[in-house]
Structure 1
């Protein structure tokens, strides 16, 4: 499965996906950004940065979890970027055209790396 980006309108509202963003707490020094994990709500699917296909991550696998972590950095008053923890310099991106895949790219790129967070809700831990 691939995640694709589309501009939401009344005709495309059935394609709306909500993400749950979980903060990752670590004792390691952070790079002026918040480490987060991005999951698709009401599923067991997560965004990951990998070179090659991603297989199921097994509990206790020390090499699997860091591909699920991204540094969330505020890039202006309303925008956020998401950089891979495992592969520094690689960012979640979307094309400016609808129905293109959400993919990882190094910056600079002609794709967008800035995202707004809407309908934010803080859930109890």
Structure 2
């Protein structure tokens, strides 16, 4: 087995070589004799000293049986240097050397094993993300009575026979028909994002609450009588009473929208035409109005 060593400029390649070897590895320790700048001494089969620069191409000395050392004066590539260092490292550590040439795959594996550290990242879910929001009625300012009209100045009017709200323009003589609502504010934990202030909407003096429930695959607005208001003091976002909850959010200087807490993206709305029912719709509905003026 022959091992070829080529002279190369250590002062230009030392940094690159150190990246490929362990910091504690000294190249000179891999040889039986310390490397000298001007003289290379080789024993075991070659008793004479050879001056640097006087070697001719192909001169060799037998170090041990089956191992031959050949020194060439011309500089070699970085790949040859890497092969040399890895081979010497294996010899130093007592590994059986079967060859001095390594494939690209072998070189990559050797270097990666030396310099790459494995890091395992464990993703821990924020416990508040999986918790269900609980809404509690505010005790500071539990109810605010106000009137509501849409951006076309149509007021909400109660149709007691059909038990529904309609929107129409009221003249001075019919202003008494306008519905006034009690807005009950709620505090949420954890906070449900930036959806707005949670509120429940009650028709003043009627014990009728606006609710949003699913019917035939579509959220619909209803009026429900609630005699025991205490059951609405605490509302679970995943519970059945969440249908009474809406998110009040300002979307202009004086305009407000009411989004269902149970069905995200569905809002209380009025039709552009007069005397049409108040219903739920999405923001994409072009023929519905979802912005209201709320006045105390």
Q: Tell me the SS of whatever aligns to 2:174.
A: helix
User: RMSD across aligned C-alpha pairs, in angstroms?
Assistant: 2.3
Kindly indicate whether residue 240 of structure 2 is the aligned counterpart of residue 78 of structure 1.
Answer: no
Output aligned runs, 1:1-125, within 5 Å: 1-32=163-194, 33-52=196-215, 59=231, 63-109=239-285, 110-118=287-295, 120=296
State whether residues 209 and 225 of structure 2, in contact with CA within 8 Å, keep that contact through their aligned partners in structure 1: no
Distance 1:64 1:8 in 2: 36
String of CA shifts for 1:6-60, please: whole Å, max 9, x gaps.
1121243232110010101121213321011011001110111111386766848
SS of residue paired to 2:208? coil
User: Which residue of structure 2 lines up, in the alignment, with residue 123 of structure 1?
Assistant: none
**Secondary structure in 1 matching 2:182:** strand
Between Structure 1 and Structure 2, the one with more helix by share is 2
Following TM superposition, by how much is the alpha carbon of 1:104 offset from its aligned partner in structure 2, in angstroms?
Answer: 0.5
TM-score, with length taken from structure 1: 0.84
Aligned residues: 119
The one of the two structures with greater contact order (alpha-carbon pairs below 8 A, sep at least 6) is 1
Point out where structure 2 has 5 or more consecutive residues left out of the alignment. Answer: 1-162
Question: TM-score when scaled to structure 2?
Answer: 0.37
Are the aligned partners of 2:201 and 2:210 in contact in 1 as well (CA < 8 Å)?
yes
Higher strand content, 1 or 2: 2
Q: Counterpart of 1:12 in 2: which secondary structure?
A: helix
Q: Which shifted more, 57-66 or 24-33?
A: 57-66
